[in-house]
Chain A
Amino acid sequence: MLTVTSFLLTCVLVFLGGAIGGLGRFFVSGFVARRFGETFPWGTLTVNVIGCAAIGILAALFFDPARQGPSNLPLWALFVTGGLGSFTTVSSFALQTLALARAGEPLDAVLNIAVSLAACLLAAASGFGGAYALLGG
C-alpha cells in the first residue's frame, strides 16, 4: 500500500529521474542526429532502442510478475518511471513521422514506424531475456 510519505518520495524520484533521462535523451539524440544527419530521425530511434533494451534489463531485475509490479519501488521510480520513461519519447517519434510524410517521404515515414516498433519491442524482449538468463532464472 502506498503511504503518503512513500508517495511523495516516489514523486520526487520520478521527477529527478525524469530530469536526468530528458537530459540524456537531449545529448544522445542530438549527438546521433549531428553524426548521421537529420533527414531520417536516427537520434530518436537510437534513444528509444537503447531505452527499451535497458527497461527490459531492469524489468528482469526489479519487476515481480506475481505482483504485476516493481519489487523495489524507489529504484523503479528513479530509473524506470522517471529515467527511462523520460529518456525515450513517443512525441518526437510521432512529430518526426508526420514531418517525413509531409516532406513527401511516405516510404521513410512507414519505415520509421516499422523499424521503431520492431527494434524497440525486440530490444525490450532481448534485454529482459538476456538479463533473465544471466541471473540464472
Chain B
Amino acid sequence: MPRQVRLLMAVALGAASGSLLRYLSSLAALALFGSGFAWGTLFVNVVGSFLIGLYSTLTEPDGRIMAGPILRQGVLTGFCGGFTTFSVFSLETFLLLQAQAFGVAALNVAASVILWLVAVWIGYRIGVRLNRLKGS
C-alpha cells in the first residue's frame, strides 16, 4: 500500500476509535454524575492532553519509544485528536450561557483550560523523565 494511504488510514482509524471512546466516556459520565456539568468532555480533553504530551515526548527522535511516523501520526493526530474535542466543549459552554448559568459556564472554561494545560505539561514531564532513564 502506498505510504500516503497508510498514513491516512492510521489517522482515520485513530480518530474513529478516539471518537468512539469519547462517546462512551460521555455516556459513562452521564450515568455516573448526571447532566448538570459536562464531566465527560472535561475528562476526555484532560486525558487526551496528558496522552499527547506523554506520547509525543516518548517518541521524539531521542525518545525512549521508537515509533515510525505513521504510527506516531495515528496516535497523536488520529487518536488524541479524535478523543479530544474543542467543538463539543464550546457548544456545552454556549448552552450553559444560554441557560443563564453564567457561573458554571465561567467555571467550565477556566477549569478546562487550566486542566488541559497542566495535563499536557505533566505528560511532557513524565515523558522527559522516562526518556532520561538509563538502560532498557
Contacts and interface: CB of A to CB of B under 8 A. Distances in A.
Contacts, number: 180
Given A11-B23, A93-B116, A94-B120, A88 B16 contact: no
Residue among A98, A113, A125 with max Cβ neighbours from chain B (10 Å): A98
A91 B51 contact: yes
B58 interface: no
Contact of A113 (B52, B77, B113): B113
Nearest to B12: A19
A36 B10 CA distance: 26
A126 B12 CA distance: 29
Interface of B: 8, 11-20, 22-24, 26, 35, 45, 48-49, 51-53, 56, 76-78, 80-91, 93-95, 97-98, 109, 113, 116-117, 119-121, 124
Contact of A19 (B16, B48, B49, B56): B16
B120 to A, nearest CB: 4
A56 interface: yes
B120 A98 contact: yes
B91 to A, nearest CB: 5
B80 A16 contact: no
Interface string A21-61: 11101100000000000000000000010011011100100
26 contacts: A15-B20, A16-B16, A18-B17, A21-B15, A22-B19, A23-B15, A25-B81, A52-B87, A59-B95, A63-B95, A80-B88, A81-B22, A85-B23, A85-B85, A86-B16, A89-B80, A91-B80, A94-B53, A94-B116, A95-B56, A98-B121, A113-B113, A113-B117, A121-B94, A123-B90, A125-B94
Interface in A80-131: 80-82, 84-95, 97-98, 113, 116-117, 120-121, 123-125, 128
B6 to A, nearest CB: 13
B7 to A, nearest CB: 9
Given A56-B94, A81-B88, A124-B94, A91 B19 contact: no
A5 interface: no
Contacts of A116: 86
B94 to A, nearest CB: 5
A81 B20 CA distance: 9
Contact of A93 (B12, B35, B51, B86): B86
Pick the 4 closest A-B CB pairs, nearest first: A22-B15, A18-B19, A90-B84, A19-B16
